[in-house]
């Protein structure tokens, strides 16, 4: 009652509000203002990619996770110091996990392998997908190779499967949702399969064996 004045309650919001559609832009604008004082700016053609005016530091921002590429630890420390002026942050100098992606660095061979350990197992459990009788190494059905033939034609078989009901459509949409981020972040070979399922879901619907 002490905050009521003439029938109104006046509040000042000092932190973000989850669910507010403007929250993301407001947080990004505030970050831009704060980091610009230290020489950092967001690349004009690549949203989420940041650079410094002269320091060899580049970082990418996904929600509240920053992946930093730097030459010389003192330059990374400069960025962290700038962030700590306004934010509480934690660091992982090994860089083994970012935005849910497991990263395996090999600085000797100069390679980087990305995985999401346990993700597919969790998705299969969620949708009660049984173990295949034999290993399936292709994410998409393809026409069998006709050895000796001069030309290999695309499969033009007509799909005679029954249209999906509302529950079936929702199930397929759930599968696409669960696998799309994984496909974009780790294994892009799934994108063709997911695209095919999405194209067929509203009308004919895919056969279950296509959902690998």
What DSSP string describes 43-94?
-SSSTTEEEESSSSEEEEEETTEEEEEESSHHHHHHHHHHHHTT------TT
Average pLDDT value for the chain? 84
Stated pTM of the model: 0.64
Identify any residues that bridge with 56 across adjacent strands, giving them in sequence order.
none
Phi and psi at 75, nearest 5°, equal -75, -35
Range in 18-32, 36-50, 106-120 the model is least confident about: 18-32
Q: Is 180 helix (H, G, I), strand (E, B) or coil?
A: helix
Task: Look at phi and psi of residue 79 and say left if phi exceeds 0, alpha if psi is from -120 to 50, else beta.
Answer: alpha
pLDDT in tens, 86-129: 999 999 998 898 888 999 989 899 998 999 989 988 999 999 98
pLDDT in tens, 152-211: 676 666 777 777 788 888 888 888 999 998 998 898 888 888 888 888 776 444 444 444
Confidence band for 49, pLDDT divided at 50, 70 and 90: very high
Q: Are 112 and 105 in contact (CB under 8 A)?
A: yes
Segment 23-30 mean pLDDT: 87
């Amino acid at each position: 009652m002490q905050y009521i004045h003439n029938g109104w309650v006046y509040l000042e919001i000092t932190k973000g509000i989850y669910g507010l559609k403007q929250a993301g832009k407001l947080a990004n604008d505030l970050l831009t203002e704060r980091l610009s004082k230290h020489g950092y700016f967001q690349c004009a053609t690549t949203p989420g990619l940041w650079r410094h005016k002269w320091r060899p530091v580049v970082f990418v921002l996904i929600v509240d996770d920053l992946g930093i590429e730097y030459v010389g630890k003192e330059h990374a420390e400069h960025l962290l110091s700038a962030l700590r002026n306004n934010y509480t942050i934690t660091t992982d100098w090994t860089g083994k996990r970012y935005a849910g992606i497991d990263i395996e660095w090999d600085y000797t061979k100069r390679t980087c392998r990305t995985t999401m350990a346990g993700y597919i197992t969790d998705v299969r459990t969620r949708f009660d997908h049984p173990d295949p009788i034999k290993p399936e190494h292709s994410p998409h059905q393809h026409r069998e190779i006709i050895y000796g033939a001069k030309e290999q034609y695309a499969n033009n078989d007509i799909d005679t499967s029954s249209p999906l009901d509302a529950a079936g459509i929702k199930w397929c949409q759930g599968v696409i949702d669960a696998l799309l981020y994984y496909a974009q972040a780790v294994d892009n070979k799934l994108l063709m399969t997911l695209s095919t399922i999405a194209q067929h879901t509203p009308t004919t619907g895919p056969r279950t064996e296509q959902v690998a």
